[in-house]
Amino acid sequence: MAATAASPIPPFPRDFLWGVATSAHQIEGAAAERGACVWDAFTAVPGNVKDGTTAAVACDHYHRYREDVALVRGLGVGAYRFSVSWPRVLPTGAGPVNAAGLDFYDRLVDELCAAGVRPVPTLFHWDTPLAVQEAGGWLSRDTAERFAAYAAVVAARIGDRVTKWITLNEPAEHTLLGHALGEHAPGRRLLFDALPAAHHQLLAHGLAVRALRAAGARDVGIANSHGPTWPASAADEDTEAAGLYDVLLNRLFADPLLLGRYPDGFGELMPSDDLAADLDVISEPLDWYGINFYQPTKVGAPLPHPTEYSGLTLPPELPFAPRRIEGYPVTDFGWPVVPDALPELLTAFRDRYGDRLPPLVITENGCSYEGLDDQERIAYLDGHLRALHRALEAGVDVRGYFVWSLMDNFEWAEGYRRRFGLVHIDYATLERTPKASYHWLREVLRAQRA
């Protein structure tokens, strides 16, 4: 703490957008007051969540949102990124609206506006309505149309006060973890046969962009996860494996969105009678592009046994295998802390996409550590903010930064074993306690405004 106090974070632009982020399924609770989603079915199966928990209560944000907005306001950020639960608004994914669900987001947006905090809703953060999943889920083209209709419903209700929108969160992870490896809901293990889920999410994004703009939205983006890929060695088999992994993580979603085409060899694998027409929808111009950044990945040739990586077990039949990155501290999740990888990533995006790349926003960045006196999180955020500033100095157009997460929450297949929050949640009492990192960030932001 003393070291960071002696060396202030360099000043960011005056109009730089500072925020914190959460997602509906991870914090809202009130499961009985919404429709069922794929995560309800997934967590009901013993062994799918490592601590055997569910998000039925989570942080009970649905009932305690005023307390949580007060924490956002007290932090001094300008924006709050949250997600809208599709099954809370449309319990079966289509058809009749749940008025109480829409009312909740209406109240939340009002509370944020009254607190002087900009609401930034994400329309999809992995909680597909169970009825939609049973009708084919993201493997079905119809889901993209249903999603666009849902986007229109939400925009009609809160679009008069929301000026910044996110369509999807991390479609790459939802495809890989939920449909290829079965480690997340809906638990499908399709490997490369999961690619239709990628295409239909991208199509849903494009259709939602059109629906939002038809409702008057003028500041629309998406949140994709990206990170540098480092070959395990200079050997051909390692560089080829790393190249394929890099395409899957960094280009399979960004290329269609920004260039209107899939990377070589992938377009013909997508389920479409008219791929060019689909890509025209997918590549609707964005006002900004969101990047969720956590870590780089070292990748080599496949190994003859399952690989443990970031809490996942990767099967040996994959054409690549992650390797441990040595020489860096790691979070409680085992993720390497490499702040310099952030400007490496951002400058690579600038160089690859050129004038097709809209302004960037870091829509997630954070780490898992235990304890209220979370000096490791302070060091992590300090290092990444300085690294981000170096990217700005290098000419990358970055307009905002959101910390993941405002509060500890249900961390998907990890349950409540990982704590990413600036605010500690006592899951027995639901008491909120700001951590040392909350107070540190508040002072950083105060200095930025000075």
Report yes or no: 205 and 256 within 8 Å, Cβ to Cβ: no
Contacts of 382 (CB under 8 A, 6+ apart): 4, 9
pLDDT recorded at residue 16: 98
Residue 432: count other Cβ atoms within 10 Å of its Cβ: 19
pLDDT recorded at residue 6: 60
Identify the burial level of 359 via C-beta atoms within 10 angstroms of its C-beta, where 0-12 means exposed, 13-18 middle and 19 or more buried. Answer: middle
Annotated binding site for substrate: 26, 125, 169, 294, 404, 411-412
What are the C-alpha distances in Å from 101 to residues 85, 316, 359, 364?
A: 9, 43, 33, 25
Report the catalytic residues. Answer: 170, 364
Contacts of 109 (CB under 8 A, 6+ apart): 119, 121, 158, 161, 162
Report yes or no: 47 and 394 within 8 Å, Cβ to Cβ: no
Our count of domains for the chain comes to: 1
Residue 21: what residue type?
A
Burial profile 47-76: b = 16 or more Cβ within 10 angstroms, e = fewer = ebbeeebbbebbbbbbebbeebbebbbebb
Q: Domain containing 122: what range? A: 2-449
Provide the token pair at 58.
């989570």
Annotated binding site: 26, 125, 169, 294, 404, 411-412
Instruction: Please list the pLDDT of the chain residue by residue as tens digits (450 residues).
Output: 333 446 899 999 999 999 999 999 999 999 999 999 999 999 999 999 999 999 999 999 999 999 999 999 999 999 999 999 999 999 999 999 999 999 999 999 999 999 999 999 999 999 999 999 999 999 999 999 999 999 999 999 999 999 999 999 999 999 999 999 999 999 999 999 999 999 999 999 999 999 999 999 999 999 999 999 999 999 999 999 999 999 999 999 999 999 999 999 999 999 999 999 999 999 999 999 999 999 999 999 999 999 988 888 899 999 999 999 999 999 999 999 999 999 999 999 999 999 999 999 999 999 999 999 999 999 999 999 999 999 999 999 999 999 999 999 999 999 999 999 999 999 999 999 999 999 999 999 999 999
Rounded CA separation 362/166 (Å): 12
Contacts of 249 (CB under 8 A, 6+ apart): 172, 225, 226, 227, 229, 297
| Lookup result for tokens 């360099």 | 10
State the CATH number of the domain containing residue 253: 3.20.20.80
Rounded CA separation 263/247 (Å): 7
Report yes or no: 424 and 372 within 8 Å, Cβ to Cβ: yes
DSSP string covering 224-249: EE---EEESSSSHHHHHHHHHHHIII
